[in-house]
Structure 1
Amino acid sequence: MSSRNARGNSAVDLARHGYTVFPLTNNKLPFANESIAAVLGIPTPPKGQGGVWLATRDETAIARLWTAFPDALIGIATGAASGGIIALDVDRKNGRDGLHT
């Protein structure tokens, strides 16, 4: 991966440490299934089977994804896909602390 693509390099590093990654838009949403499938050269998965379900540790796939989407944020699949890690999302929304919503 090019040294010009720091996020892509970070995604590869995470995969090398056992994390399964996927690209996210700046809105923290997965890219459209069609976009991911086109980059990876795979059939477009049905709705509801993309996003985290297309997460990978394959360095070649990661390089292709972050070359196509160099500004993509890095999503990490949780659970067994990444060694059992869990995540809590405690944003502040509607003037309330996420822990109270």
Structure 2
Amino acid sequence: MLLVAARCRVRPDHCQDFVHQVDRIIPVVRAEPGCTRYELHADVFEEGLFIFCEEWESQKQLDDHIATPHMQDHFVTCAAWMAAPTELTIYEVSGLQTVVLS
């Protein structure tokens, strides 16, 4: 399994455009083969910083996701809104443990 943290820096004047655009693609991405998690989070301390938290079953499925027409369209649509290039950090996971804190 792969965990992906994709850091997107969006110009503050386009944050709402970005969120609206992402809202449109999330259901489509979540239905893709191999996607087990796809969420967008906004940093509460840094305006314009958004982080996608993703889980993919394999590198091939992540690569296929990035190459889909809807993602290529998404990248083109959002390009003018970005303050910096998107940075992906990819973690290869060999095991998981769930801990519940109360």
- TM-score of the aligned structures, taking structure 1 as reference length: 0.33
Greater share of strand: 2
Higher relative contact order (CA 8 A, sep 6+): 2
After TM superposition, the score normalised by the length of structure 2 is 0.33
